[in-house]
Amino acid sequence: MVVGKVSRSVSALTASEGKARRSIGARRNPASAEAILEAAEAVLQEDGYSGFSIEAVARRARAGKPTIYRWWPSKAALLIDVYQRQKHIDYPDTGDLERDLAGFLTGLLAHWRDTPSGAIFRSIVAEAQSDEAAAEALAAYAASRRVEQGKITERAKTRGEVADDVDPLQVADMVSSYAWVRLLTGRLDEDEAKIRAAVRIIVHGIKT
């Protein structure tokens, strides 16, 4: 059983229309926003984080730099938007905590490994180390993800699988951290048995 799947529609047309987009009046042009996000994604995928610049995105999107700065105050904000467009992680709900956490973890690592998401998220974390705005955005995002992922343990707690004094957010934190560090140190292709072992340790550690 899967909850929370969010897909996105890719309109790959916009990027190579040939003709320039125009203003549609005194309001944001969604076509421009779309083109910019797609260009950003493409630049990241092709040139990596080191080649990712506002200029490069603007060039590729055939957009003016001010148009980007108007809507995304920093490189990080753009990165996060790109990441959000990509991401659709499943939060499993099988009725078994260990299975749920292991499913989440393997799903997340596979998602990072098999889509551009991993590279993008690495970029965001890197950016957050030098840009205060990025750090805040990342912190907010991470917190919201912890809440979401914490629900897995919360459900198990409701089922009586987990000790009363356990904080689901803390569990989410531990599980996420394990995934983050794997991403940041290039160890996404972790043996699934190891992942299960790690999850088992935590689940054993918190059960009633």
Partner DNA sequence: GGGTAATCGAGACGGTACGTCGTGTCTTTCC
Partner DNA sequence: GGAAAGACACGACGTACCGTCTCGATTACCC
Residues contributing to the site for DNA (CB under 7 A): 20-29, 32-33, 35, 51, 53-56, 61-67, 69-71, 74-75
Structure tokens at 192: 């699934």
Structure tokens at 158: 């409701």
188 part of the interface to a copy of itself, by CB under 8 A: no
- Residue 139 CB neighbours (<10 A): 11
78 part of the interface to a copy of itself, by CB under 8 A: no
Residues 105, 195: Cα–Cα separation, whole Å: 7
Residues 114, 96: Cα–Cα separation, whole Å: 26
Read off φ and ψ for residue 91, nearest 5 degrees. Answer: -110, 100
Which is nearer to DNA, 4 or 51 (by Cβ)?
51
Read off φ and ψ for residue 185, nearest 5 degrees. Answer: -110, 15
Nearest approach, Cβ of 24 to DNA (angstroms)?
Answer: 5
Q: Which does 198 bind (CB under 5 to 8 A by kind): a copy of itself, DNA, none?
A: a copy of itself
Instruction: Compute CA distances 116 → 33, 66, 82, 93, whole Å.
Output: 19, 26, 10, 26
135 part of the interface to a copy of itself, by CB under 8 A: yes
Nearest approach, Cβ of 179 to a copy of itself (angstroms)?
Answer: 8
Q: Which residue has the tokens 């897995």?
A: 152
171 part of the interface to a copy of itself, by CB under 8 A: yes
Nearest approach, Cβ of 193 to DNA (angstroms)?
Answer: 39
Instruction: Give Cα 45 distance to the centre of its chain.
Output: 15
27 part of the interface to a copy of itself, by CB under 8 A: no
Which is nearer to DNA, 46 or 69 (by Cβ)?
69
Nearest approach, Cβ of 182 to DNA (angstroms)?
Answer: 27
Among residues 63, 142, 156, 172, which is the contact residue for a copy of itself, using CB under 8 A? 142
Nearest approach, Cβ of 180 to DNA (angstroms)?
Answer: 25
Which residues are near a copy of itself by CB under 8 A? 48-50, 122-123, 125-131, 135, 138-139, 142, 166-167, 170-171, 173-174, 176-178, 180-182, 184-187, 194, 197-198, 200-206
